[in-house]
Structure 1
Amino acid sequence: MRIRLRENGPLVIDLPEGSRYLLGGEERVLERAKLALCRCGHSQNKPLCDGSHKRVGFLATGGELELDPR
């Protein structure tokens, strides 16, 4: 699994399509292979990103983490 910290944007998690996750106690299935999580704190759809980082001028460095799912 890979987590990308988008410069001035969200955390993007790359997962296999069809992966399941919990959101607000409800199990959901990913329709796409990416899940974007808010890190600016302004999303109206937390914990998911809704693009608010652009509106508020969020600034943050980018980066990448590779996780070994052992």
Structure 2
Amino acid sequence: MPSEREPRRVVVDPAGPVLVDGPVEIALPDGTVARSDRFVVAICTCRRSKRFPFCDTSHRERVRDS
């Protein structure tokens, strides 16, 4: 885990979530705070996630079986 002086690593994927080295606390617009102790946390940017602000892969295109 990075120390207080080391920057957090953030990976931005235009086709997916923002990946942040955890643990993280996310301050939401309604004043609540979402927390995750995971090693890497996927933050939803498409707002389709049922687990918002965390990504649940809802951004992926659905492929139907023929």
Q: Same fold judged by TM-score > 0.5?
A: yes
Q: Which has the higher helix share?
A: 1
Which has the larger share of strand? 1
Equivalence for 1:48? 54
**Residues paired across the two proteins, number:** 52
Amino acid at match of 1:54: R
Matched, 1:37 2:52: no
Which is bigger in relative contact order (C-alpha 8 A, separation at least 6)?
A: 1
Q: Percent identity?
A: 29
Please report the TM-score for the alignment, with normalisation by the length of structure 2. Answer: 0.59
CA RMSD of aligned residues (A): 2.5
- The gaps in structure 2 that reach 5 residues or longer are 1-7
**Which contiguous aligned blocks of 4+ residues in structure 1 show a shift greater than 3 angstroms?**
22-29
1:21, distance to aligned residue in structure 2 (A): 2.6
Q: Which runs of 5+ in 1 are unaligned?
A: 57-70
